Each structure stands twice: as structure tokens, then as C-alpha cells.
Amino acid sequence: MSEDRTATALGLGGLSLTLAGTGAAAYLTVAHYSSPTVLACPDRGTINCTKVTTSSYATQFGVPLVLFGLAFFAVTLLVQNPVAWRSPSRVIRTARMVLAAGGAAAALWLIWVELFRLDAICLWCTAVHAVAILLFVVTGLGTAATSPAVDAEATVG
Amino acid sequence: MATSSGKGPGRGRPGTQQASHARAAKAMMERRQQQRRQLVLAGGASIVVIAVVVVLVAVKLSSSGTSHAKTAPANYSPVPAPASIVSGLADIPTSSLAAAAKTGAGRAPKELPGQPPLVSGGMPQVLYIGAEYCPFCAAERWAMVTALSKFGTFTALGQTTSSSTDVHPDTATFSFYQSAYTSRYVSFEAVEETTSDPSVRLQTPTAEQERLFKTYGNAGGSIPFIDLGNRWTIVGATYDQASLDGKTLQQIGTAATDSGTRIGQGIQAAAGLIVADLCKLTNGQPGDVCSAIAT
């Protein structure tokens, strides 16, 4: 019962983070396909969304990075919700962990690109990176805390 | 590892029951130990990820700490822009600007209803806040010089390029730094915050200019910010900035006077829209300009 509540809480937390990430990624996508200057973000120096979102790094393999971000959060929604967190399915648990790790790795790479390649920070991108890293932390700790019983039947008294 | 194979739990002889409880307790303990190991692993991984972010930011700050807040040398002065280019823009017929403004190649300034008028010396004031490194400022200065030349005269306009590491790198343009503008109809104040190198500071807006920027600029604080008498504002470039990519100052200046070119159409359209708004601020003065733009 207690574990069920933990899983539900983790699911709600994961869902909130994923929805926040989806919102930021959607906003960046809209800006990408309209005008990069519509982003509510300064472009007077180091904080410069336009410089980041229109850089050569903003497109990978011919696909705008914002679409990768949007797709990432869309898929993540499937495994970051209370129902998925309550599920003991090994496939779901593994997929959630792999997605979270991939998101965090991508976030670290993009932070490096912004700091050391572009010399500019995009606030909206940073929000997405923060969400990805928080999802990794929540998923890692949550997966450990809700690991299913090793020998469930043996615990029946 | 304990398993449930063998006799069922719960019933049976006391010895068997004791063994079953022992196995259950052992399994529980093993599970807790496994959970603890996983928590340590997950916690460690989380700390590593966060530490990497902290290290990246710290390295960046320590490496760039000394290059921040540089000030341009006292004798810094942009190379003067060729007078022929400036006069070429001033001589574009107002009727040509009016026609271009109707093509949709320029974005109209945003109206600010009900704001106190921005005036200086009894004339409506135009405030520009930008920077030499800024590619969108680079584009917009072409339209501004064209438009404001209908109301007055620029002297000592400099030439510069936008940052070579930003988008639309090295866009050829003017610099308002150390330039002068005389007019009987409008007052013009310009602030170029940095040189083409965004870390080298040139000018700082006054408190009042900063207040206008924060009040009427976009939420993100983008430049260029242009305030037309507190009745209209422009943020960013108002025409196809990409048309200037890779062109020299001379090439842009020549194309700007020809409305048949992509560059000319964009610059003239943007300038025409500014002139139309300025004419409303000046109550239709000068008459020849404002009657031509209204047609």
C-alpha cells in the first residue's frame, strides 16, 4: 500500500516534470517555425536564445533539435505517469530509466555546447535541460525505491 | 537466496513454520539490501550528473571571468561610413518607400496605445538601443538611416559589422556610435552597448533609457529596441535579414536604393513603415515627405 503511494507520487512528479518539459519544447518548436526572435529571452549578451536556437547545433542529422526534444518528452509521457510507475513491468522500468539517462546525457552535451561552443545561453533550452536532469534524478531514485521484491512469494508469512 | 519452492507457507509443523519465517526475513533483508545498493547507485549517478553541470559552469565562469566587462579603448572610433552610401539612402524617393511598405516585405512597428509621449527639445524622440555585435541591429540600422534621413541629416556615421560568431555573421552595417543627427522634426538618441565583440562595452543606457527599454521592450529584453515617441516600438529586425548575408557595405548600399532587389525591397519597406509612423508624430512634417508616404 505504502509502495503504491510512493509509485503514485513518483508518477505524478514524473508527469509534472514531463509536462513542463513538453511545454518548453513546444514553445521552442513554435519559435523555430515562426521567428526565433519571438522567444521571450534576452539577446543582449551571454543570455541569447536566438544565437543558440539558430546555431548550427540546432539541427542534427537534418532535423531541428527541438523536434527531438518534443519527441523525447512525448515518449517519456508514456512511462512517466502514475499508472506506469505502479506497473511492475521490467520493460517499462527499463525503458523509463534508459529514456531518463538518454535525456540527461543529451542535456549535458547541450549545456557543454552552449557554454563552450556557442558562448551563449538559451533560457528556454536551459529549462528543458533542467527538466531532463531532474527526470533522471527522480527516475533513478524512484526506480531504486520501488524495486520489486526479489522473492515476493517468500515474504508471505 | 530464499525461494518459495518446497512446502507451502503458513501451515505445517512448528519447525517448518519457523524455517519459513526465517526464509521470509532473510528475503526481506536481502531485498532491503538490494534496494539500498540501488539507491546508493542512483544517488551516486545523480550526484555525478549534477556535479558535471556544476563543473562545466565553474570552468566557463573561471575562463571567461577576466574577459567580462571590458571597455573599448578611449580612442575607439568606428571607421567612417562612405558619404556616398549615406546620401544614397537619403535620396531614395519617399514614394518608393511608400510603395515598398505596401508590399508586406517589412514588419510594421508595434503600436503602444495610451502611453505618455516621448519628447526631447519639443520634438518627438526616437530612441535606439542596440549593439554593434547584434546582427538584427545591423539589419535594422539600414532601415533607420533611410527613414530618419527623411527628417534630418546624419553626420559621422560609422561602419561596422555584426559579430563574426553570431547568427548572420559579419553583417555589414552602420554604427551610431559617435554619430550625430540633426533635425527640425524629430530628436534621435542612440545607444550602442558594445562593439562587434559583445564583451567590449561601448555605451550604457541612462536610467531613463533603461526604464523605457524594460517597460516597452519585449519580455526577453531583445535588441535592437527602438522607441518611436512612445507610440510605436520595434524589437528585432523588421525585414528579411538574411538578404544581407555575405554582402559588403557597398553592395548593400547599392542594392538598398533599388527596390527591384531583395535587399532594396526589404530595407525600403521597413523604412517606409517607420516614416509613416514618424509622420504621425510630427503632424505631417515635413510636408513633402509625409504627403508622399501617405499616398
ipTM, 2 dp: 0.84
pLDDT given at position A120: 83
- For A9-64, the pLDDT digits (tens) are 999 999 999 999 999 999 888 888 876 555 667 666 677 787 788 777 888 888 88
Q: Which residue has the cell 508514456?
A: A78
Please say whether the beta carbons of B188 and B150 come within 8 A.
Answer: no
pLDDT given at position B16: 74
Residues of A in contact with B42 (CB under 8 A): 140-141, 143-144
Position A151 confidence tier, pLDDT thresholds 50, 70, 90: very low
Which string of b and e fits B262-276 if b means at least 16 CB within 10 Å?
Answer: ebbbbbbbbbbbbbb
Going from the C-alpha of A19 to that of each of A6, A15, A70, the distances in angstroms are 20, 6, 11
A1: contact with B, CB 8 A cutoff: no
pLDDT given at position B4: 42
Burial of B48 (C-beta count, 10 Å sphere; 0-12/13-18/19+): exposed
A50: contact with B, CB 8 A cutoff: yes
pTM of the entire structure?
A: 0.64
Measured at the alpha carbon of residue B263, what is the angle toward residues B136 and B174, in degrees to the nearest 5?
50
The pLDDT mean for chain A works out to: 86
In three state form, how does the secondary structure of chain B look?
A: CCCCCCCCCCCCCHHHHHHHHHHHHHHHHHHHHHHHHHHHHHHHHHHHHHHHHHHHHHHHHHHHHHHCCEECCCCCCCEECCHHHHHHHHCCCHHHHHHHHCCCCECCCEECCCCCCCEECCEEEEEEEECCCCHHHHHHHHHHHHHHCCCEEEECCEEEECCCCCCCCCCEEEECCCCEEEECCCEEEEEECECCCCCEECCCCCHHHHHHHHHHCCCCCCCCEEEECCCEEEECCCECHHHHCCCCHHHHHHHHCCCCCHHHHHHHHHHHHHHHHHHHHCCCCCHHHHHHHHC
Nearest CB to A140 within list B21, B45, B236: B45
Please say whether the beta carbons of A25 and A64 come within 8 A.
Answer: no
Residue B37's CB is within 10 A of a number of other CB atoms, namely: 12
Q: Which residues of chain B have pLDDT under 70?
A: 1-15, 64-69
Mutate to test the interface with B, among A38, A151, A156 (most CBs of B within 10 A): A151
pLDDT given at position B5: 43
pLDDT given at position B13: 62
Cell of B240: 528579411
B165: contact with A, CB 8 A cutoff: yes
Residues of A in contact with B165 (CB under 8 A): 119
Question: What is the longest distance spanned by two Cα atoms in chain B?
Answer: 113
User: B278: which strand partners?
Assistant: none
Looking at the predicted structure, is the pLDDT value of residue A1 above 80? no
B7 CA to chain A: closest CA distance, Å?
A: 11
Q: What is the rounded distance in angstroms from the CA atom of residue A125 to the CA atom of residue A135?
A: 15
- For A56-70, the pLDDT digits (tens) are 788 888 888 999 999
Measured at the alpha carbon of residue B117, what is the angle toward residues B113 and B122, in degrees to the nearest 5?
155
pLDDT given at position B135: 92
Helix (H) or strand (E) holding A48: none
Going from the C-alpha of B135 to that of each of A78, A129, B39, B139, B263, the distances in angstroms are 41, 27, 49, 7, 15
Q: How big is the A-B interface in CB pairs under 8 Å?
A: 121
Residues of A in contact with B10 (CB under 8 A): 156-157
Q: What is the rounded distance in angstroms from the CA atom of residue B28 to the CA atom of residue B34?
A: 10
Going from the C-alpha of A90 to that of each of A1, A114, B130, B287, the distances in angstroms are 20, 36, 56, 79
Percent of chain A with pLDDT over 90: 54
A83: contact with B, CB 8 A cutoff: no
Q: What single letter denotes the amino acid at residue B117?
A: P
Nearest CB to B166 within list A51, A145, A157: A51
Please say whether the beta carbons of B91 and B146 come within 8 A.
Answer: no
Nearest to A45 by CA among B222, B173, B218, B192: B222
Position A117 confidence tier, pLDDT thresholds 50, 70, 90: confident
Q: What is the rounded distance in angstroms from the CA atom of residue A61 to the CA atom of residue B53?
A: 26
pLDDT given at position B12: 53
In this prediction, residues A99-117 reach a mean pLDDT of 94
Cell of B229: 515617441
Check CB contact under 8 Å for A144 and B220.
no
Residues of B in contact with A157 (CB under 8 A): 9-10, 20-21, 24
Looking at the predicted structure, is the pLDDT value of residue A122 above 60? yes
Nearest CB to A51 within list B24, B64, B167: B167
